[in-house]
Every structure is written in structure tokens, then in C-alpha cells.
Amino acid sequence: MESKIKIGIIICDRYRTCAGGKCFRALRNREGAFSIYEGKDVELVGYTTCDGCPGGNIEYTADEMMRNGAEVIHFATGMLVGYPPCPYIETFKNFLEHRYRIKVVSGTHPIPQKYRDTHFELGTWNDIKWQALLEPTMTTEKIRKAYD
């Protein structure tokens, strides 16, 4: 039997009161960025905020999650769809991957259709850097609408 994949989730501090409903539903259904775990057993070993701009908790939270066995850290979809999207997401990803040698995935639940539409209309994600960051959470329109 394959062992559990242990993951941690870091959310934007603007959403610090978020109960994680969409993230946990997507994890259970293996949707959005969690589709990479289709058919695999996953355990959530950490869930916290970045501690607000410019991410005061980023330096320390990965260490704690890894002590709990985390092999992958996901940045919550709110870091991509909040307005404005997290201006530090690439910096955080690069830091965590370099410092802790851990895989970092941008996104958790699928991007809700209403957020996708707004950001495309505003041109928020026109910069090429956003394409790779958004890819794990785009999925199909039907699934995106289910997360509105």
C-alpha cells in the first residue's frame, strides 16, 4: 500500500477567518490543484496564514509543517484570486523550494468562475508569470461554477 502524501496549506492572511470549506471540499473531491492526488491517500498536516504582507510566517511555517511530515505545501487559491492577487507568491514559492527543498503548488480549490471572469476582464493575470501559477486551479467551467 502506498503511504499517505502529507500536505500543508498556507492561506492569505486577508482570509485568516476562512474555515477552509472550499479547500477541504476540493481535497476530498481531488479537484483543482488537488487533482494531482487522484487515487492517492492524502493527509493534511498543517493549515495556517502567511501572517500578512510581506509574509512574516512564510519563513517558519514550512519548518513546522515538515516536522509534521509535509511533503508538499499548497498556497490557497485565495492567494491567486484575492484582489489584488498575492504580489509575493513567486517570492514565497522560490524561498520555500530553495530553503526547505519542498514542493510548492500554487492553488488548492478550483478558481471560482466569477473570480476568473473578473480577473480576465480587469487584465489582472495578463502577465505571463500568472499562467503557470493559475494552471493547477483552472479546471473546467462546470467545476469552476460549482465553486462560485
Local structure of 65: helix, strand or coil: helix
pLDDT at residue 3 in the model: 85
Range of the domain at 30: 5-146
Interior CA angle at 51 toward 135 and 7, to 5°? 50
How far apart, in whole angstroms, are the C-alpha atoms of residue 148 and residue 132? Answer: 22
Check residue 2 and give its pLDDT: 67
The CATH number for 48's domain is: 3.40.50
pLDDT tens for the chain, 148 residues: list them: 468 999 999 999 999 999 999 999 999 999 999 999 999 999 999 999 999 999 999 989 999 999 999 999 999 999 999 999 999 999 999 999 999 999 999 999 999 999 999 999 999 999 999 999 999 999 999 999 999 9
Q: How many domains does the chain have?
A: 1
Query: How confident is the model at residue 61, as a pLDDT?
Result: 94
Listing DSSP states for 79-143 in one string gives: HHHSSSPPTTHHHHHHHHHHHH--EEEE-SSPPPHHHHHHHHHHTTT-STHHHHHHHHHH--HHH
